[in-house]
Chain A
Amino acid sequence: MEQKTPVSEKIWMNESYIRKKCENCADIIIRPMKLGEEEKVSCLAVYIEVAVSNMMLEDSVIGKLINHFWEVSPGEMKEFLENNSLGISDVKELATMEEAMDAMLAGNAVFFMHGYDRAIKIAGKGYPAMPVSKAETEKVLRGSKEGFNDSVKINSALIRKRIKDTRMKVEEHTLGVRSNTMVQLLFIEDLASPELLADIRSRLNSFEIDGVLDSGMIEQLTEEVWYSPFPQFQTTERPDRAAMELLNGRVVLLCDNSPAALLLPTTFHSFLQTSEDKYNRFEIVSFLRALRYLAVVTATLFPGLYLAVIRFHTQVLPANLILSFAQAREGVPFSSIVELIFLELSFELIREAGVRIPGALGNAIGIVGGLIIGDAAVSANLVSPIVVMIVALTALGSLAIPNEEFSAPFRLLKYLFLFLGGFLGIYGIVLGIYLVAAHLAGLLSFHIPYLMPFVKRSPMSGQGDGIFRMPFLQMVNRPVFARDKERVRLKRRQVK
């Protein structure tokens, strides 16, 4: 085990340790000072310049502390620190220099006093972060508009704002031997399964890496099946969604510097739900969910089915329709497969360019690119109008999937089905469906089958929250993630 250096009573020893460690770190301020009424006492404050407020400002914690120390005797100073007499909320005594350095690097000020063998961590304003803003990727018409930001502390506070109950626990872990990234595990003590928590903790401890810069890295380091294109962790940028999932017995993992919270365990169906699904009436929610499933099918199978039909099974379509298809393709020199791949790839390029190009220009690229390229390609006889329609409908399908990460595998699978349908017709499509079904049936997320709630329903689990949602008053049970003893979520009171 690594040897720890205790904080010394001699302040010059602490100072030399820090100066050695922080050599050439211009952003770290090491500020020696003499405080105390008559007999001046050597003190030292160490902090990252931008992360801690101006020390002399009255409204900052460290400012208040230092200003107070001008007027008291050295003995009182020590007593003051020991008893935390200033009543500062986030003050912690640190016994080792390593802890002191970690606290300083986490964005706090660390205060040393000669003759006192502890360092004092005083919370500063923290690293610069974006303010709480709108969730960009999970827009809703009804419900809170708040989104997570980059600071893990703010993110957990946004969830705490919604669940004001001490049974919601926040467990801190540090990942990345160089990045020392703070990761928080949020769960409701009596709802989350202990096995699940143990499994998550063991997976978080199962690797050592230099740096963790986003929750996406944790996801890839801890997922069960590395080769699956399907995401095994769900992400959300919405605190209300995260809070809702905590109440369902799931666990939320927050990573510093990442606005995306991970929701564990994850199922296929949970990706097709939105937070609005609980706020709106069951009829429209059920309709929208069915539409999203249809979107999945369209995004994956539509181009493949089109090719299968026009290349192998023309008898399926009415004669008029197949004739108009043939007429539309007149003059196009390429085979239908090449035509479709060309346009699909063009659309992917437009989409990628639209994402990378900033702001309004990105939107313009999407619309202009789509219109101009589509129209020009048809005019130049590179593609037929029907193919433009097929690609547009496929794109709409993939955009209607509420979770971007979840729509990605279908965008990839679309090409597999495109080739299977193009070369093997409906037989190829059936083979592809068999493969995908077999793969999905084998996927587990933290011991929960990926295809829940469509498989092996226990009588206690949250029924009525599948493709079709039941009226809210009848959704009495929590989903299968919660502990068996705590399955009931809704009880009706007898009102006289």
Chain B
Amino acid sequence: MNFAENNRISHRQLRRQIQLALAGPFLLCLVGNQGIFGLSGLAGTVVNLLILGIYTIFLIRLSDSYTDLVKTFGSFRGRMAGLLYVAYTILTASYLLWVIGKVVPESLLLGVPAWMVSLLAALVTSLGSHMGMQKRGRMAEVTCGIVLGGVLLLLVLGAFQGSADYLKEITAPDAFSWKETGRQTYYVFAGFFGLSLLPFLLKDVERPQSAGRAVFFSIALLDFILGAALLILPAVFGWDRMMAETYPILPMLAGANLPGDVLSRFDVIWLAFLLYSLLFAVGSMFYYGNRILESAHLFSGRFWMWILAWILSLEGIWGWNMGEVYFPALLYGFVPLGLLSQVAAGFLYKRRRTKKREKTGESI
């Protein structure tokens, strides 16, 4: 009875949640001409290993202050900070639903309307999204190995299609610049901004203060996958073709072959793995959105959050679509504001603790 009673997840479950929730979205949405590419992208992922390592330590130190936002920030500021993160989770879920609604009808289900595809995804991922952290942990623990194993295997299969000549194009003059490296480093960091939800969930993790290693291992693995994709894609398609594709990762396995001729194409299976990861990411956003609302003493998001995310993901009714809005909102809104709020939270928490110590006469 030593595992279910304390309602806490293990480091392995934390690690696998991060890996499963980020692998699919990263490969699909971050790699390509709209995100990161070439040597600049590779440099960005390597630099981020260091930045995110430090950021993780910072986030772990913040975890106590995020247990109850209202206590740390005060009633109004706490709720505002909560709403900022809730807006991030809803917009991210909405963006991922938009991606699903775009990719599935184009690559898997011709003729099925995008709204139906994203509605089903929102509905399925919202089911049980209010339930305990352990459930999500167990789900990730059991399925992450299969999904990541599949992703890595298919990346290897994809690599066999590559050609050395194409790969050389990665060293072309337009494939690297310092400015581009800076921009793409920030892109990768913004992609990993989901980690900013870490302080909200650490109270449900065993030995939270030593969770840094698990998080860092996840970052390293995801960086490795991103780096591998950045190398394999130009090797398979050539630089120009890769830059012309919106989601270059999708057709990567169109020409792959396996000995025995059992299957002639793998792209459907490849997409299935990515879709599972995307669905898990959407589910995570709903779950953590609910948790943040709870922490900010706000209303429950159980019934409306997924509907709002789905409505926002619909194309053609707002005059804009999530694909256009999300990245600017993330890069220029959520990331800077989130970082500011985290720094402020750190200061406020420290001040509160100092005051408390002064009151109780405890020596520092």
| Contact pick for A316, options B10, B12, B127, B264, CB 8 Å | B264
Contact mask B168-181 → A, CB, 8 Å, 1/0? Answer: 00000000000000
- Tell me which of A20-28, A237-245, A340-348, A454-462 binds B: A454-462
Contact mask B291-332 → A, CB, 8 Å, 1/0? Answer: 000000000000000000000000000000000000000000
B interface size (C-beta, 8 A):
46
Asked if B89 CB lies within 8 Å of chain A CBs, one says no
Contacts of A438 in B (CB 8 A): 127-128, 135, 139, 283
Contact (A454, B104) CB under 8 Å given A426-B271, A434-B125, A442-B135: no
| Contact pick for A435, options B124, B134, B265, B266, CB 8 Å | B124
Interface residues of A in 340-361 (CB under 8 A from B): none
Contact mask A254-270 → B, CB, 8 Å, 1/0? Answer: 00000000000000000
**Contact assessment for A426 and B263 in the assembled complex, using a CB-CB cutoff below 8 Å:** no
**Contact assessment for B5 and A427 in the assembled complex, using a CB-CB cutoff below 8 Å:** no
Contact mask A302-324 → B, CB, 8 Å, 1/0? Answer: 00000000001101111100000
Asked if A371 CB lies within 8 Å of chain B CBs, one says no
Interface residues of B in 68-111 (CB under 8 A from A): 104, 108-109
- A435 to B135: give the CA distance in the assembly, Å: 12
Contacts of B104 in A (CB 8 A): 427
**Contact assessment for A316 and B141 in the assembled complex, using a CB-CB cutoff below 8 Å:** no
Most buried by B among A318, A427, A429, A451: A427
Most buried by B among A318, A431, A440: A431
Asked if A396 CB lies within 8 Å of chain B CBs, one says no
Asked if A430 CB lies within 8 Å of chain B CBs, one says yes
Contact mask B1-14 → A, CB, 8 Å, 1/0? Answer: 11111000110110
Contact (A448, B4) CB under 8 Å given A427-B117, A431-B120: yes
**Contact assessment for A425 and B124 in the assembled complex, using a CB-CB cutoff below 8 Å:** no
Nearest CB of chain B from residue A201's CB, rounded to whole Å: 15
Identify the closest chain B residue to A268 (Cβ): B142
Interface residues of B in 123-167 (CB under 8 A from A): 124-125, 127-128, 131-132, 134-139, 141-143
**Contact assessment for A430 and B276 in the assembled complex, using a CB-CB cutoff below 8 Å:** yes
Nearest CB of chain B from residue A304's CB, rounded to whole Å: 12
Interface residues of B in 246-302 (CB under 8 A from A): 261-266, 268-269, 271-272, 275-276, 279-280, 283
Interface range on chain A: under 10, 10 to 19, 20 to 34, or 35 or more? Answer: 35 or more
**Contact assessment for B142 and A441 in the assembled complex, using a CB-CB cutoff below 8 Å:** yes
**Contact assessment for A427 and B109 in the assembled complex, using a CB-CB cutoff below 8 Å:** yes
Most buried by A among B1, B3, B128, B137: B1
Interface residues of A in 171-194 (CB under 8 A from B): 193
Contacts of A434 in B (CB 8 A): 124-125, 276, 279-280, 283
Contact (A427, B108) CB under 8 Å given A456-B10, A456-B141: yes
Nearest CB of chain A from residue B201's CB, rounded to whole Å: 16
The A contact surface, by secondary structure, is helix
Nearest CB of chain A from residue B149's CB, rounded to whole Å: 14
- A439 to B131: give the CA distance in the assembly, Å: 11
Nearest CB of chain B from residue A416's CB, rounded to whole Å: 12
Asked if B59 CB lies within 8 Å of chain A CBs, one says no
Asked if A433 CB lies within 8 Å of chain B CBs, one says yes
Nearest CB of chain A from residue B327's CB, rounded to whole Å: 25
| Contact pick for A315, options B3, B265, B276, CB 8 Å | B265
Contact (A312, B108) CB under 8 Å given A430-B275, A431-B121, A449-B3: yes
Contacts of A430 in B (CB 8 A): 272, 275-276, 279
Contact (A427, B3) CB under 8 Å given A442-B128, A454-B142: no
- A195 to B2: give the CA distance in the assembly, Å: 11
Contacts of A440 in B (CB 8 A): 142
| Contact pick for B272, options A319, A429, A444, CB 8 Å | A429
Most buried by B among A315, A424, A430: A430
**Contact assessment for A458 and B3 in the assembled complex, using a CB-CB cutoff below 8 Å:** yes
Given A316-B268, A426-B108, A434-B279, 12 more pairs with CB closer than 8 A: A193-B1, A313-B108, A319-B264, A424-B109, A427-B109, A431-B120, A435-B127, A438-B127, A451-B138, A451-B141, A454-B142, A455-B13
Q: Chain A: residues with CB nearer than 8 A to chain B?
A: 193, 195-196, 312-313, 315-319, 424-427, 429-431, 433-435, 437-442, 444, 447-449, 451, 454-456, 458, 480, 484
Please, could you name 24 A-B residue pairs with CB atoms under 8 Å apart, sorted by A? A193-B1, A315-B264, A315-B268, A318-B263, A424-B120, A425-B108, A426-B272, A430-B275, A430-B276, A438-B139, A441-B135, A441-B136, A442-B128, A442-B131, A449-B138, A451-B142, A454-B142, A455-B13, A455-B137, A455-B142, A456-B10, A456-B137, A458-B2, A480-B2
